[in-house]
Chain A
């Protein structure tokens, strides 16, 4: 077994496109769920609206990339307002139901045959990312970071992605130590108490939904550029569930929780996949136990087991504070 290859692959996964996409999605979700206590189960919809807003603007209407980005951002804001206005006055679990339904509606709309003229139906859209790659300042070649190597396109995507992650974390850090962030955290604890102190809870929840949605939509842009194609099934409910897993893995309501959570999540998937594949090809595992085709599923099971163990032995996540968790049992 080639352990150096296994570790290199895991390190690559830690900084790779999936980590970037899910870190951004989870940073937004952390604003909703971790800081404000909003059970948004439709984070994938924000990614979809941004990805398709960009792709349709550029590929179908031949608008510049920057306009596509503006359309995507606007789409995320409108979606947040549409989702929030009718539901944020209701109890938290209603928001969960409405958001998960809304996310599926958005995905099925982009998938529908009647709109396929603009969306490409289930095949999705391509031919919109060149504007993004044309401003790449890097010349052709391999760019390395220690043992890691990426070509100029990957390096460009990852640089932009990690810059966005850095800026998003800075924004969340600044906001959450301000009085504005204090109101959000207080709403998570008890919104009636916050109301009784003269704060407009509805307005703050809507602001939180918009902020988290806009951060999530950055993940949509990175999906679109990184894969150079948008397909409706990139934005299924799995995306939201992965993002939730990452938020909880890293520790909710921690600035860097989602980033570390995403890196570890994808590193674990890479590790289990590579170890199983290599052990299989080296003949350590016989076909009666595991066939090559089952590795893909089994690695998810193993990561699931690992996450269960984490929840049992470290329920507050990697960055969380156990003292805080104990307070939940009021």
Chain B
């Protein structure tokens, strides 16, 4: 493993470059401070009875970057997501978004402040059409007030503007042909795309993706990856939970690792993949499983040598 991660120049876009430069001077230790954090969490704790599901000391998320949150099953990643977005209430701790405290702020207000999440189990609104799903994401709709709803002339123009914006997004996510289909008729991958597009209708500054690749047909994976990268190019900050290491390596600028509720490591993706603490947390009993081909050959050679030795003993 090289000490300095080599970045393939082909995929280096201005935003990617900016994000990598921002991380250049950041220490790869849990809780390290970032030059321009959009989200800062301090001492966020969540207990379920005797079990401490989340116990995060200090975490900062750099603005304009793609940060991955990885960790074994039950590490508390999704719970941490729920706490940050107001879908669950922590027992203790503070966290700020753009310098404003989010502690005790209900989930819908978190979204209005610009932090929008998606879900691990996709929540497409099945018996609404794709377009209705999209329009729901638009904020500040006059027609969502009961009294104005009765009078279409008060909201029709805004609805047309929102529809135009939704159509642009649907075209970008290649869902424009599905416009009038029920969302429930779409495949798992298309639902993930719809959920992401719908989140963008809110006009977020930060997008929180909970396992965006789970249950997605491999053919769609590349396109989804492209869309996540495009979020950063549009100036958004992305924090995502993922299990697929190849994806993490491919798109993230920075990686946070959680295990047993704590952040045990953070750093650039390549350094994280080689980190002892991470391998321990992830692989546990299968500690000696090969990580790459060279290591596999090495282990194979060692095993063969051992066998020859045993034969020689006879």
Contact = CB atoms under 8 A, between A and B. Distances in A.
Interface stretch (B8-16, B50-58, B115-123, B306-314): B115-123
A195 B108 contact: yes
A198 B124 CA distance: 16
Contacts of A196: 85, 87, 107-108, 111, 116-119, 123, 199
A98 B31 CA distance: 47
What are the nearest 8 A-B pairs in CB distance?
A327-B184, A179-B143, A180-B149, A178-B149, A193-B123, A198-B111, A189-B125, A198-B112
B233 interface: no
A199 B123 contact: no
Contact of A189 (B126, B145, B155): B126
Contacts of B108: 195-201
Given A174-B150, A198-B139, A193 B125 contact: yes
Contacts of A178: 143, 149-150, 152, 155
B150 A175 contact: yes
29 contacts: A175-B149, A178-B152, A179-B135, A179-B159, A180-B145, A180-B146, A182-B135, A182-B136, A189-B128, A193-B124, A193-B125, A194-B125, A194-B136, A195-B111, A196-B85, A196-B107, A196-B119, A196-B123, A197-B111, A197-B116, A197-B202, A198-B111, A198-B116, A198-B202, A207-B146, A323-B182, A324-B182, A327-B182, A327-B185
Nearest to A325: B127
Contacts of B43: none
Contacts of A198: 108-109, 111-112, 116, 139, 202
A193 B119 CA distance: 8
A117 interface: no
B155 A324 contact: no
A190 interface: yes
Nearest to B181: A323
Contacts of A186: 125, 128, 132-133, 136
Nearest to A190: B123
A91 interface: no
Nearest to A200: B108
Contacts of B123: 190, 192-193, 196
A180 B107 CA distance: 19
* B interface residue count range (under 10 / 10 to 19 / 20 to 34 / 35 or more): 35 or more
Contacts of B143: 178-180
Contacts of B107: 195-196
B149 to A, nearest CB: 4
B198 interface: yes
A194 B119 CA distance: 12
Nearest to A171: B150
Nearest to B208: A196
Interface residues of A, number: 31
B127 A185 contact: yes
Contacts of A183: 136, 144
B144 A199 contact: yes
Contacts of B160: none
Interface in B122-181: 123-128, 132-133, 135-137, 139, 141-146, 149-150, 152, 155, 159
Contacts of B159: 179
A184 to B, nearest CB: 10
Contacts of A324: 127, 182
A330 B121 CA distance: 11
A75 interface: no
Contacts of A42: none
Given A192-B123, A193-B119, 13 more contacts: A175-B149, A178-B155, A181-B149, A182-B144, A185-B132, A192-B87, A194-B136, A196-B199, A197-B136, A198-B116, A207-B146, A211-B146, A330-B184
Contacts of B199: 196-197
Contacts of A200: 106, 108
B122 to A, nearest CB: 9
Q: Which of A183, A196, A323, A328 has the most CB of B within 10 A?
A: A196
Contacts of B127: 185, 188-189, 324, 327
Given A175-B149, A183-B136, A330 B125 contact: no
A190 B185 CA distance: 16
Nearest to A201: B108
B145 to A, nearest CB: 7
A196 B132 CA distance: 16
A185 B128 contact: yes
A181 B111 CA distance: 21
Interface in B75-122: 85, 87, 106-109, 111-112, 116-119
Contacts of A195: 87, 106-108, 111
Contacts of A330: 126, 184
Nearest to A203: B108
A181 B118 CA distance: 23
B128 A179 contact: no
